[in-house]
Chain A
């Protein structure tokens, strides 16, 4: 106990140095926590799962994927062809059609704030299949169930993310007309029935797929019987949930071996693999964050701490000499200096990570850094131990050499100088 008191007393005596080192550590831990949060999120999104995994079926070659709507039903079931084939339950599948529109009638005057990107899907799949929305709990889930119910009841309904709604300058209950951008001349009058829970879908929207299909079906009536150019390409993605990797392989084989999906050909991949492909374009940026930015900050932090501790050790040579005279062993002096550094590092690290967690997640509602289709990141709970580890690790690395030099202080040298 006395030992710890000694550590804290030294820190108190050099309060200015302690404070400055601590503040420097906090700033650096803050940046590293942000970087690690993004990297961890991306790593999780791209790491292959062996259980309860999601698969994406899409057009084999082209981006954006455009498949005939006729593929939808069979693909949603996993294309079972014979007895013994695996059939996906309806709650475990979701089809996506992308509808891009603007509230500006004259498309040439459309601004970014008037754009709206919507997933056209079966409303119930929002609760069962949509990433993050399928894991909602408590009041958030109950609230969103009500909103999804409204979308199911009102074919013209639309659910909008809070940021997009603000950009459109509209409110829940308003009716807007969307003028089709990718679906040229498919204009949809939609009623805003509710909001997405805050987070990933703040800038997105969801409409009932039946409404889009009905609009495409009605198109020939006003165009001398000619179908809409995208009528046969309106299915963009099919999501399937599978129990395990084995089922994934089986369903994948069922789909790829079926002659029904040959024109255009389709591919089946796990969601993580699909995300990896999208992130491939950011490969060097992610590499830079992982292997350049984070290590450089850690080294800088070690230097800052090392510098502060070295200065302290130089100023306290006399104190160490006295401690040695009082019977302290060299390793105890080494431990004393390292403990001081660790106390500053760990405390500052945990404090900084905790503050980052609160500020980013609670105050700002997420870290906005658009990369691929992820627009926002949150700081995970693990950040608290990252803070401790970063602060402690860099403090240890930075203080070891100065502590070693304190350990080797020669009593005779110090007192000889004074004499």
Chain B
């Protein structure tokens, strides 16, 4: 998983093209480091294991009795507690911040089905901006690579994705009066749900064929639009209600079945809630496409999501991989030519003006062509290739759904870089704090050090003794910090996932994920702070001679 992230950063941007890297590459590489990944991240856990091994080794080789260290820590308990508290705050902050990014990654990774292919209009990289020709739809979904269900219907979700600027009628003073609401119009909700792997909660149903129902209490005579809500957006819409309304509601936390809300001068009635699966669909409102598309000015389909036939062109798997490898080679070749040209221009510029700083372009690397490991993955890859290279009736952009959602993690990377930067700066600040404590400990215990030296303890044993003390404070503080951070696991937060420039984005409701690797990262940072902060004071203690110490 970690290596996959690293490769994603090193390779191109979802188009299979490699571009020369600039100075941001260093940050990208840092950001690709293991702490962004979750429980299957053995590298992070390995780092923690290494740290713990170091600690155990120190414990084993330490000849100075541990009770001496414990006594010192407890006798200066105020200083010990305050230093540990600083660790707690820094580590809990890091844990919460990483949990946020983890939640964003989880969201983008869990939104795609491995066998699905998204068809968008040519040139579109985001469904918000895609407009597919209505006449092409029937032909696309009847291609042989598209899987069929038991009734021999093509497994296709026809969708129109709209971002609606929703007024918040009862907005609290000082709070925004509008929000962006993701509305997905679908033709056949049951089929769309089966393609996306979405399920309804108990008691829910999909909207009817007409997509509307008459409400007895509605005096205007206009039928209410039936909608199915994702769990996250149900909670957000539920928070628009006044406290009195919430007190009366059957579910005060979120909008529930039979509840209604107003949008575009119409009443929208909730007939279903989708089970929260940690995907971007949790943040969406699903309704009948033929109603919501024209209502918000989008008459075309934005996407078709096709479930690929896993056995589609099995015999051509090797050929497809070969073609993709060739394409990657050609792209690299082109990128290298550009790189050499830029470099020689750079050198010429520098020769003409020695004051000019070289721009130092990075050498492009070849895109790693990943081979699918499952039949579903193969089916999607081959169907994508088919639509992008052979399908001639209309020009479309086919993307494997999992790749599409992975591409929406550009924001995640930006946040991750910012978090890492903050964590490092805070950690450096914390290290100075620990050094203060440990230097004070060394100066207060000069005589102790002298006596220990006279008793025959070696210099390195004194070093280890002091190091163990600072690491003990760090470990206790970090453990409490991790525990505090863990309290945030599962807390929901709103954010945006996007693919950066030219991409668009989605407002999403995500769950913070505090997992093993997050906690391991918090512990690693804490222990590293303790180690670095304790090292210099311990070295100064080690250098004292018995005579100096006793003087």
Residues of chain A touching chain B, judged by Cβ–Cβ distance below 8 Å, are: 16-17, 20-21, 23-28, 30-31, 58-64, 66, 100, 102, 107-113, 115, 117, 166, 169, 179-182, 184, 203, 229, 264, 267, 269, 273, 276-285, 288, 292-293, 296-297, 299-301, 303-304, 306-308, 310-311, 315, 369-370
Question: In the complex, which residues of chain B have a beta carbon less than 8 angstroms from the beta carbon of A369?
Answer: 414, 418
Instruction: Please indicate which of the listed interface residues A64, A113, A285, A304 has the most CB atoms of chain B within 10 Å of its own CB.
Output: A304
CB pair A303 B82 closer than 8 Å: yes
Residues of chain B touching chain A, judged by Cβ–Cβ distance below 8 Å, are: 12-13, 15-17, 19, 22, 78-79, 82-83, 85-86, 89-90, 92-93, 96-97, 100, 121-125, 128-129, 131, 162-165, 176-180, 264, 295-298, 331, 338, 342, 388, 397, 411, 414-415, 418, 422, 425-426, 428-430, 432-433, 435-437, 439-440, 443-444, 493-496, 500-502, 507
Question: In the complex, which residues of chain B have a beta carbon less than 8 angstroms from the beta carbon of A16?
Answer: 439
Contact of A110 among B15, B92, B165 (CB under 8 A): B15
CB pair B176 A279 closer than 8 Å: yes
Instruction: Please indicate which of the listed interface residues B89, B97, B502 has the most CB atoms of chain A within 10 Å of its own CB.
Output: B502
Give me 23 A-to-B residue pairs in the complex whose CB atoms sit less than 8 angstroms apart, sorted by A's number: A16-B439, A24-B433, A27-B425, A27-B426, A62-B296, A63-B163, A63-B180, A64-B163, A107-B122, A107-B123, A109-B17, A110-B502, A112-B19, A269-B178, A281-B179, A284-B495, A285-B495, A296-B89, A300-B89, A300-B90, A300-B426, A303-B89, A307-B433
Question: In the complex, which residues of chain A have a beta carbon less than 8 angstroms from the beta carbon of B162?
Answer: 62
Q: A27-B426, A296-B89 are in contact. Are A17 and B436 (CB under 8 A)?
A: yes
A160, chain B: closest CB distance, angstroms: 13
Instruction: Count A-B pairs with CB separation below 8 Å.
Output: 208
Contact of A281 among B180, B437, B501 (CB under 8 A): B180
Q: How far is the CA of A296 from the CA of B422 in the complex (A)?
A: 12
- In the complex, what residue of chain B is closest to A25 when comparing beta carbons? B429
Contact of B180 among A66, A179, A277, A288 (CB under 8 A): A277
Q: A267-B165, A281-B180 are in contact. Are A184 and B296 (CB under 8 A)?
A: no
CB pair B177 A273 closer than 8 Å: yes
CB pair A303 B128 closer than 8 Å: no
CB pair B123 A180 closer than 8 Å: yes
Q: How far is the CA of A181 from the CA of B130 in the complex (A)?
A: 10
CB pair A281 B85 closer than 8 Å: no
CB pair A285 B493 closer than 8 Å: yes
CB pair A277 B165 closer than 8 Å: yes
Question: In the complex, which residues of chain A have a beta carbon less than 8 angstroms from the beta carbon of B430?
Answer: 24, 300, 304
Question: In the complex, which residues of chain B have a beta carbon less than 8 angstroms from the beta carbon of A21?
Answer: 432, 436
B162, chain A: closest CB distance, angstroms: 6
- In the complex, what residue of chain A is closest to B435 when comparing beta carbons? A20
Q: A17-B436, A111-B13, A182-B129 are in contact. Are A306 and B82 (CB under 8 A)?
A: yes
Question: In the complex, which residues of chain B have a beta carbon less than 8 angstroms from the beta carbon of A23?
Answer: 429, 432
20 extra A-B contacts, CB within 8 A, seeds A23-B429, A112-B19, A281-B507? A16-B439, A17-B440, A28-B429, A30-B425, A31-B426, A60-B165, A63-B163, A64-B129, A108-B397, A181-B124, A273-B178, A284-B494, A288-B97, A293-B422, A303-B83, A303-B86, A311-B79, A315-B440, A369-B414, A369-B418
B316, chain A: closest CB distance, angstroms: 20
CB pair B15 A109 closer than 8 Å: yes
CB pair A280 B298 closer than 8 Å: no
Contact of B426 among A26, A28, A111, A115 (CB under 8 A): A28
Contact of A111 among B15, B92, B428 (CB under 8 A): B15
Nearest 7 interchain pairs by C-beta:
A27-B429, A24-B432, A304-B433, A284-B493, A107-B123, A281-B507, A63-B163
- In the complex, what residue of chain A is closest to B395 when comparing beta carbons? A107
A31, chain B: closest CB distance, angstroms: 5
- In the complex, what residue of chain A is closest to B439 when comparing beta carbons? A16
- In the complex, what residue of chain B is closest to A306 when comparing beta carbons? B82
Question: In the complex, which residues of chain B have a beta carbon less than 8 angstroms from the beta carbon of A115?
Answer: 501-502
CB pair B163 A281 closer than 8 Å: no
A183, chain B: closest CB distance, angstroms: 10
Question: In the complex, which residues of chain B have a beta carbon less than 8 angstroms from the beta carbon of A280?
Answer: 176, 178-180, 494, 507
A176, chain B: closest CB distance, angstroms: 15
Q: How far is the CA of A352 from the CA of B545 in the complex (A)?
A: 38
Q: A61-B165, A281-B494, A284-B493 are in contact. Are A110 and B429 (CB under 8 A)?
A: no
Contact of B429 among A17, A203, A304 (CB under 8 A): A304
Q: A62-B165, A184-B121, A306-B82 are in contact. Are A300 and B429 (CB under 8 A)?
A: yes
Q: How far is the CA of A202 from the CA of B439 in the complex (A)?
A: 48
- In the complex, what residue of chain B is closest to A18 when comparing beta carbons? B436
Instruction: Please indicate which of the listed interface residues A59, A64, A181 has the most CB atoms of chain B within 10 Å of its own CB.
Output: A181
Question: In the complex, which residues of chain B have a beta carbon less than 8 angstroms from the beta carbon of A315?
Answer: 440, 443-444
Question: In the complex, which residues of chain A have a beta carbon less than 8 angstroms from the beta carbon of B100?
Answer: 285, 288
Q: How far is the CA of A59 from the CA of B296 in the complex (A)?
A: 10
Q: How far is the CA of A117 from the CA of B16 in the complex (A)?
A: 21
Contact of A112 among B123, B443, B493, B500 (CB under 8 A): B500
Q: How far is the CA of A301 from the CA of B426 in the complex (A)?
A: 10
Question: In the complex, which residues of chain A have a beta carbon less than 8 angstroms from the beta carbon of B86?
Answer: 300, 303-304, 307
CB pair B17 A111 closer than 8 Å: yes
CB pair A62 B414 closer than 8 Å: no
CB pair A169 B342 closer than 8 Å: yes
CB pair A20 B494 closer than 8 Å: no
Question: In the complex, which residues of chain B have a beta carbon less than 8 angstroms from the beta carbon of A304?
Answer: 86, 429-430, 432-433, 436
Question: In the complex, which residues of chain B have a beta carbon less than 8 angstroms from the beta carbon of A60?
Answer: 165
Question: In the complex, which residues of chain B have a beta carbon less than 8 angstroms from the beta carbon of A301?
Answer: 429
Q: How far is the CA of A131 from the CA of B129 in the complex (A)?
A: 26
- In the complex, what residue of chain B is closest to A98 when comparing beta carbons? B129
Q: How far is the CA of A63 from the CA of B429 in the complex (A)?
A: 44
B284, chain A: closest CB distance, angstroms: 14
CB pair A113 B414 closer than 8 Å: no
B452, chain A: closest CB distance, angstroms: 21
Q: How far is the CA of A370 from the CA of B439 in the complex (A)?
A: 41
Question: In the complex, which residues of chain B have a beta carbon less than 8 angstroms from the beta carbon of A20?
Answer: 432-433, 435-436, 439
Question: In the complex, which residues of chain B have a beta carbon less than 8 angstroms from the beta carbon of A100?
Answer: 129, 502
B74, chain A: closest CB distance, angstroms: 15
Q: A307-B433, A311-B436, A369-B418 are in contact. Are A111 and B507 (CB under 8 A)?
A: no
Question: In the complex, which residues of chain A have a beta carbon less than 8 angstroms from the beta carbon of B17?
Answer: 109, 111
CB pair A117 B501 closer than 8 Å: yes
Q: A62-B162, A310-B79 are in contact. Are A24 and B180 (CB under 8 A)?
A: no
Contact of A370 among B165, B414, B422 (CB under 8 A): B414
CB pair B432 A276 closer than 8 Å: no
Question: In the complex, which residues of chain B have a beta carbon less than 8 angstroms from the beta carbon of A113?
Answer: 19
CB pair A303 B13 closer than 8 Å: no
